Structure 1
C-alpha cells in the first residue's frame, strides 16, 4: 500500500474526541465473513470445533460461520475465557478436534474474529461457594502454589484463595517456602470475599493465634 493509493474500506469505529476513524479493508474484501460477524448478538450461543491451540488463545471453526481468510477459525477464545478454574495449560481444558459450545462476547474488528467464552456456558463454582461461607469462617485446605507474595490454598473443588505472606505466620518471613510447601494441609480463616472479582482472601495466622 502506498500514500495516495485509493482503497475501499468499511468504518469499524469512530473516536469523536480524537477525531479519528478506524477502517477495515478486510470488511470489503471478505463481505460474507463481515456480515456473519455483524449479525451476532452478545450472549448468543455458538457451536464449533477447536482447530488450533496457540500461545495466545484457542481458535474455533464455527458450525454456522464462514472460513476465515487467515486464521484456522472465525471463533477465538482467550485463555481467561476457557474455564472458571485455574489451569496450567489450555490443553488441560480443550483439545484440537474437540466440539465446544461457547457464548459470543464481541466482534473483534481488528482480526475479523468472533471472541468467544467457553466458561460463560458453565456454572461459576465460585459464586455458589461464596454464598455458602462468611467472613471469619474457618476452612481446611491444601497449598497448591507458592508465589513471592504468598500462597494459594484450595479450600473446595475448583476454589482457591490467597494467603498473603504477612498472613502466613505471626512471625515475619521472607519467603512462603520458609513456612509451607505445595501439598501441605493448612487451616485458614476467610478474611475477604469479593463476589464481583471472584477473589477469596485467607489468613493462616489468624486461624492459629499461637502460630509462630
Structure 2
C-alpha cells in the first residue's frame, strides 16, 4: 500500500534483460534504508527489492509488468519516482495507492500557468477506466487531483514543489506515463457494471 507521495527521484544505473524479465538497478538517497524483499513503487509500479549493493538496489520487472507499464521504455540515467510502502499508522497524505498500474497514457499537452503547470493525458477508453472531476488519480506514482475529466482524457495541475521533486519536470508531450485509477472508484464502477 502506497500514498502517492514521492520520497525520492531514483536514477537508473543499469538495465539488464534476462528472458522476459528486466532487472533494473537504481541509485537513490534512500538505498541504505532499504532491505531485500521490500516493496518499492517505481513510477507507481510496486516492485520487490532483490539486491542491494552500496548506494544502488535492484528490482525485477516481469514481462506482464513491462507490457502494461512504461518501465520497458526506461533508459540508463532516466529518473524514476520512488516511494516506499506506507507504515501502518502513518498519515495518508495522498490517497490509497496499490502500486498496480491499470494502463498507460500519453501526455498530450503541457501548459505553464504563471508558476504552476497543467498536464493533460489521453488514455485508451476501451479498457473501461474512468476519472471524475476532483477525484484521485496516480500518474507515474504521484497522487494527484483530476481536473477537466473527459471520457478518455483528463488534466492535473502541478504545483512547483511537485514539479521539482518528481519526474514531471522531465515530462514532455508524447511521453508515456503509468496510470493507477482510484481503487474505490474501480470497485464502484465494477459493481455498477455487474448490475447493468
- The TM-score, its normalising length taken from structure 2, stands at 0.27
Higher Cα radius of gyration: 1
Higher relative contact order (CA 8 A, sep 6+): 2
- The TM-score, its normalising length taken from structure 1, stands at 0.26
